[in-house]
Amino acid sequence: MSVEAREARQPWILLAPALSAVTLLLFVPLVFIVVYSFWLRSATGADLPGFHLDNWREALTDRFYRDILISTLRIAAITTLVCALMGYPAAYFIARSRGNKMILLLLLMLPFWISYIIRTMSWINILGVSGALNTLLLGIGVISEPLNMLYNEATVILGLVHFLLPFMVLNVFVSLDGIDTNLEDAANSLGATRWQAFLQVTLPLSLPGLAAGGLLCFVLGAGTYITPLVLGGPRDAMFANLVFEAIITQLNWPLGSALSLMLLVVLGVLVMIYNRYLGMAQLMKGLG
């Protein structure tokens, strides 16, 4: 074997363990889910192997599933927008901080040291009827009786923003931190105001990070399960909750598999649209 051939094979040899792990842990379970989605659940509760389209027909034609899917995408979109509006100023402040940048990044990472479930459930102690906010408002006389602030769509979005905002800030920060501040100074020296320099120089250069953070927040928000379960009401279930209900409560693995693949396909199409108009190269650039 020639030296060139050995050098060409070397990267694949080094990648083989990682590729094997990804194949075993990701693609093999996905194949089983695809196979399961075409099985059929009998009246006795047994899963009948075969090739049946009943689960897909129910998932695609039942208006209940379609409405929940649309609601899930809408909540994910609102959450992403709120994260962008809140995260960009925070990321800009951190990126332009001189001596405290590492401390601010450490503070941003602190929520990741606490369980996501615990962080979500903490909102019950804050917004509940006997929670800290109601206690404060009652104590200062703003309200005469406790407000019911939990178990609605707004609290679901609040919980998702609490969970996803650090992801947005980190992605935008990576883009902003890589922008040479001399570009803004050059724009100012040419007569541009600070606001004009931001709009025409900083913002366009930081869009890859904003887009990467938006895509990450949207995908994670659309696939969330814990937040609507803990903070939402019966009408605020998201699509992942339907998958859990089908598989765990009803023990209907074929239908649950079809529903999970339906969500996967929808999110995959959205990622393809992102790739079509923005490109995965820009996404990787935004992720650093």
For residue 14, being part of any structural domain is answered with: no
Q: Please report the pLDDT score of residue 10 as a whole number.
A: 65
For residue 231, being part of any structural domain is answered with: yes
Comparing 10-19, 141-150, 243-252, the range with the smallest average pLDDT is 10-19
Please state the rounded mean pLDDT for residues 156-171. Answer: 94
Whole-angstrom CA distances from 33 to 226, 246, 264 are: 22, 14, 11
CATH of residue 84: 1.10.3720.10
Please state the rounded mean pLDDT for residues 128-138. Answer: 89
For residue 13, being part of any structural domain is answered with: no
Query: Is 47 or 240 the better-scoring residue by pLDDT?
Result: 240
pLDDT digits (tens, 9 = 90+) for 35-72: 999 998 877 777 888 888 999 999 999 999 999 999 99
The model carries a pTM of: 0.86
% of the chain with per-residue pLDDT over 90: 44
- For residue 255, give both structure tokens: 């239908």
Is the pLDDT assigned to residue 186 strictly greater than 60?
A: yes
Cα–Cα distance between 259 and 265 in angstroms, integer?
10
Number of structural domains, the chain? Answer: 1
% of the chain with per-residue pLDDT over 70: 92
Confidence of residue 184 (pLDDT cuts 50, 70, 90): confident
For residue 260, being part of any structural domain is answered with: yes
* 231: Cβ contacts below 8 Å, ≥ 6 apart: 120, 123, 124, 150, 151, 155, 156, 158, 159
For residue 182, being part of any structural domain is answered with: yes
For residue 172, being part of any structural domain is answered with: yes
For residue 33, being part of any structural domain is answered with: no
Query: Is 218 or 192 the better-scoring residue by pLDDT?
Result: 218
Is the pLDDT assigned to residue 1 strictly greater than 60?
A: no
Domain with 103 in it: 56-286
Q: Please report the pLDDT score of residue 286 as a whole number.
A: 46
Confidence of residue 28 (pLDDT cuts 50, 70, 90): confident
Q: Which residues pair with 47 in a beta bridge?
A: 41
Q: Please report the pLDDT score of residue 287 as a whole number.
A: 47
For residue 30, being part of any structural domain is answered with: no
Is the pLDDT assigned to residue 282 strictly greater than 60?
A: no
pLDDT digits (tens, 9 = 90+) for 100-126: 888 888 888 888 888 889 999 999 999
